[in-house]
A and B are shown apart, each in its own frame.
Chain A
Amino acid sequence: AQSVTQPDIHITVSEGASLELRCNYSYGATPYLFWYVQSPGQGLQLLLKYFSGDTLVQGIKGFEAEFKRSQSSFNLRKPSVHWSDAAEYFCAVGARSSASKIIFGSGTRLSIRP
């Protein structure tokens, strides 16, 4: 069965510190992988996606993620967080078809310590 696991429900980091949000997936084939960010009361914004090729993908707002097939992971990283990065982050996996359904992880809430 397809699933996405985000083991950290809530993370607090200091402003300027580095960040890593974990994501593990279970999928029958090579999936599409996504990270979305959601600010309170807002929709979801795509940070980055992995389809194929280079396993280190760059996204918006200084985020990057690395696809590790051997570990079934797609962790999100940022070298230095800003107070505006406080939000909910969702990892998601989808199939490589035009009518695919994306499965979301349960999310990780990021708080920033001043």
Chain B
Amino acid sequence: DAMVIQNPRYQVTQFGKPVTLSCSQTLNHNVMYWYQQKSSQAPKLLFHYYDKDFNNEADTPDNFQSRRPNTSFCFLDIRSPGLGDAAMYLCATSDGTNGYTFGSGTRLTVV
């Protein structure tokens, strides 16, 4: 019954080693978002896709990239993870009328 699925739930990566987080949705929503949430902080928007149109937030580091090969899938690529990138990464979708639907998140640890 899950509608926004994030894999994996927990990811451990080495400092500087590229890592990819994935998100899939069964809602057919045209907008997909990636948020970064550090401990005890509000989620911070990294970027979003409106269909295939990519929208990057001005303060999102170049180290973070995203791909959306089709409506259902969206990936977050971190090219060279640093210790400061350890966080919960949340994927969300929206059809523009009913708010966001969030996945359960991927907790990234950088060692």
Contacts and interface: CB of A to CB of B under 8 A. Distances in A.
A71 interface: no
B107 interface: yes
A70 interface: no
A84 interface: no
Contact of A43 (B40, B90, B94, B98): B90
Contacts of A106: 41-42
A107 B42 contact: yes
A49 B101 CA distance: 12
Contacts, number: 62
Interface string B27-47: 000110100000011110100
Nearest to B105: A43
A42 B42 CA distance: 13
Max count, chain A CB within 10 A of own CB: residue among B41, B88, B100: B100
A104 B42 CA distance: 6
Interface residues of B, number: 29
Interface string A25-50: 00000001010100001111110010
Interface in A74-114: 90, 94, 97-102, 104-107, 109
Interface of A: 32, 34, 36, 41-46, 49, 51, 90, 94, 97-102, 104-107, 109
30 contacts: A36-B102, A41-B105, A41-B107, A42-B105, A43-B6, A43-B90, A43-B102, A43-B104, A43-B105, A45-B102, A46-B100, A90-B42, A94-B99, A97-B96, A98-B30, A98-B31, A98-B50, A98-B95, A98-B96, A98-B97, A99-B48, A99-B96, A100-B94, A102-B45, A104-B42, A104-B43, A106-B42, A107-B40, A107-B41, A107-B42
